[in-house]
Structure 1
Amino acid sequence: MAAIIINKASWEDLEILHNLGIQTFYESFAENNSEDDMQKYLEESFNINTIKAELADPDSTFYIAWEDDEPVGYLKVNCGQAQTELQDEVSLEIERIYVKKSHQGKKVGQLLYHQAVETAKALRKSCIWLGVWEENIRALNFYRKNGFVVFDQHIFRLGNDEQTDLMMKKVLE
């Protein structure tokens, strides 16, 4: 495997984020959800206009993991009013860390996580938080390994299906 490079995404990466978002979310959750719910969620959350609005939001930042010229994963972080829940000034939300199935288990997610920590520190945030589907054992283990603890839960709507996300946070030193 070639070295993985993490770059901040820009407007030129719109199509890449659109396609990478759809592919990685589908690969991560399709086998555990109905095709109708998956398609509805993908159409709502990963359409071009939604990605454009997210890229335009000054409180949201995307990073793309590259292996050579191939995008293999991405990270989306939010602060301030872009956060989906807490919306305080001391926290950074990791809204998405997704890696292509072909690159899972190869430390790409860990590199993206480290980018989130560096972003939080640069923004002088004291806490990182996120929501993880309670049935996503792989992700729960990943975040626990990185020092996150559960502090609450919320409902995540995937299509017409209401699922429970565990909200996890980590206080930064």
Structure 2
Amino acid sequence: MTKDYIILGTVFNHMEHIIITAATAENISTIQQIGKETFHETFSESNTKEDMQKYLDENFSEQKVKSELNNSESMFFIAWDESLPVGYLKLNIGAAQTEDQGHAALEIERIYVKSTHHGKKVGQMLYEQALVTANQLKKNTLWLGVWEENSRAIRFYEKNGFVAFDRHIFKMGDDEQTDIMMRKTLSSAI
């Protein structure tokens, strides 16, 4: 069994060398690429082609991603395998939250990882970056919404101590879907 070591945002193990960096305005196309690719990989089989295309066009346009990257209450982090972007994390505080959970809350809006890197701890590293950010910002709650049919993601969040507390509607193209809202209360010693 190998042991992973996290050193300043880098995980080293026998197979991987993953680095997490804060995204900047220069990473717009990288965020678009990862977002479109991972969203399509995860959800295309469960949605119509038209709804999928509408969602991708609206949510990963250059203008939309640029606006999100420039929002001071949103933070993006990219996971890199060497020079290849393999995932990203989007966090929100304050008014940028998709639903207001108060000023003590940090929303994990997205943890997206390419399917080629599933099972390689990239999602866990991005989640741990969310914990570090919550600690730095002195937030006491992490929360998120996850599609009720995304059992892989639900298990991941449950494994990391999240519990369901509500539901909300997520619009996928013209289709209304139900997200389970989950949260984790953080201790002062994150």
Class of the TM-score when normalised by the shorter of the 2 chains:
over 0.9
Amino acid at match of 1:44: E
- State the partner residue of 1:2: 16
- State the partner residue of 1:38: 52
Q: Is the 8 A contact 1:81 1:87 kept in 2?
A: no
CA distance in 2, matches of 1:171, 1:3: 30
1:123 Cα deviation after fit = 0.2
- State the partner residue of 1:138: 152
2:103 is the alignment partner of 1:96: no
Deviates more, 1:68-77 or 1:10-19: 10-19
2:85 is the alignment partner of 1:77: no
CA distance in 1, matches of 2:175, 2:135: 36
- State the partner residue of 2:8: none
Q: Within 5 A, what are the aligned runs for 1:4-153?
A: 4-153=18-167
Q: Is the 8 A contact 1:61 1:76 kept in 2?
A: yes
Report SS of the residue matched to 1:106: coil
Among 164, 169, 177, which residue is 1:155 paired with?
169
1:31 Cα deviation after fit = 1.1
Q: Which runs of 5+ in 1 are unaligned?
A: none
CA distance in 2, matches of 1:2, 1:94: 24
CA distance in 2, matches of 1:151, 1:91: 14
Report SS of the residue matched to 2:75: strand
Q: Is the 8 A contact 1:37 1:158 kept in 2?
A: yes
Report SS of the residue matched to 1:96: strand
CA distance in 2, matches of 1:56, 1:46: 14
1:87 Cα deviation after fit = 4.4
1:50 Cα deviation after fit = 0.2
CA distance in 2, matches of 1:147, 1:139: 13
More relative contact order in 1 or in 2 (CA 8 Å, sep 6+)? 1
Percent identical pairs in the alignment equals 57
Amino acid at match of 2:81: E
Report SS of the residue matched to 1:155: strand
Amino acid at match of 2:67: A
Q: Is the 8 A contact 1:14 1:51 kept in 2?
A: yes
**TM-score normalised to the size of structure 2?**
0.90
**TM-score normalised to the size of structure 1?**
0.98
CA distance in 1, matches of 2:151, 2:58: 25
CA distance in 2, matches of 1:168, 1:2: 30
